[in-house]
Chains A and B, each alone.
Chain A
Amino acid sequence: MKATPALLRPVELLGGGAVSVVEALGRFGAFFLEAVVVLFTPPFKIRAFLDRIHYIGYRSLLIILLTGAFTGMVLGLQIFITLSRFGSEAFLGPAVALSLIRELGPVLAALMVTGRAGSALTAEIGIMRITEQIDALTVMALNPMRYLVVPSVLAGLLTFPLMTALFDVIGIFGGYLVGVRLLGLSAGTYFGEMQTFVALEDIMTGFWKSVSFGVIVTWVATYKGFHVGHGAEGVARATTQSVVLASVLILVWDYFLGSVLP
Chain B
Amino acid sequence: MIQIEALTKSFRGQSVLRGVSLTVPTGAITVIIGRSGGGKSVLLKHVIGLLRPDSGRVLVDGEDVTQLSGEALDRVRRRYGVVFQGGALFDSLTCGDNVAFPLREKLRLPRRDVGPRVEAALAQVGLEGVGAKYPAEISGGMRKRVAIARALVTEPEIIFFDEPTTGLDPILVNTIHRLIRALHERYHFTAVIVSHEIPSIFEIAHRVAMLGDGRIVEEGPPDTLQASANPLVQQFIKGEPEP
Which chain A residues have a beta carbon within 8 Å of chain B's beta carbons? 127-128, 131-133, 135-136, 138-142
Of B48, B82, B85, the most chain A CB neighbours within 10 A belong to B82
Contact B77 A141 (CB under 8 A): yes
> Which residues does chain B contribute within 8 Å of A131, judged by CB atoms?
86, 88, 91
Contact B84 A132 (CB under 8 A): yes
Contact A133 B90 (CB under 8 A): yes
> Which residues does chain B contribute within 8 Å of A128, judged by CB atoms?
90
Contact B50 A138 (CB under 8 A): yes
Contact B84 A135 (CB under 8 A): yes
Contact B77 A139 (CB under 8 A): yes
Contact of B74 among A127, A132, A141 (CB under 8 A): A141
| Contact (A139, B105) CB under 8 Å given A132-B84, A132-B86 | no
> Which residues does chain A contribute within 8 Å of B77, judged by CB atoms?
138-141
State in angstroms the CA–CA spacing of A83 and B82 once bound together. 68
| B80 is an interface residue with CB less than 8 A from chain A | yes
Which chain B residues have a beta carbon within 8 Å of chain A's beta carbons? 48-50, 74-75, 77-78, 80, 82, 84-86, 88-91, 101-102, 105-106
Contact A141 B50 (CB under 8 A): no
Contact A140 B106 (CB under 8 A): yes
What are 23 of the A-B contact pairs (CB < 8 Å)? Answer: A127-B91, A128-B90, A131-B91, A132-B86, A132-B88, A133-B89, A135-B88, A136-B84, A136-B88, A138-B50, A138-B77, A139-B49, A139-B50, A139-B77, A139-B80, A140-B102, A140-B105, A140-B106, A141-B74, A141-B77, A141-B78, A142-B105, A142-B106
> Which residues does chain A contribute within 8 Å of B102, judged by CB atoms?
140
Contact of B90 among A136, A138, A141 (CB under 8 A): A136
State in angstroms the CA–CA spacing of A127 and B78 once bound together. 25
> Which residues does chain A contribute within 8 Å of B86, judged by CB atoms?
131-132
The residue on A at minimum CB distance from B107 is A140
Contact B74 A133 (CB under 8 A): no
> Which residues does chain B contribute within 8 Å of A138, judged by CB atoms?
50, 77
Contact A141 B106 (CB under 8 A): yes
> Which residues does chain B contribute within 8 Å of A139, judged by CB atoms?
48-50, 77, 80, 82
Knowing that A132-B86, A133-B91, A139-B77 are A-B contacts, what are 8 other residue pairs whose CB atoms are under 8 Å apart, sorted by A's residue number?
A: A132-B84, A135-B84, A136-B88, A139-B48, A140-B106, A141-B74, A141-B77, A142-B105
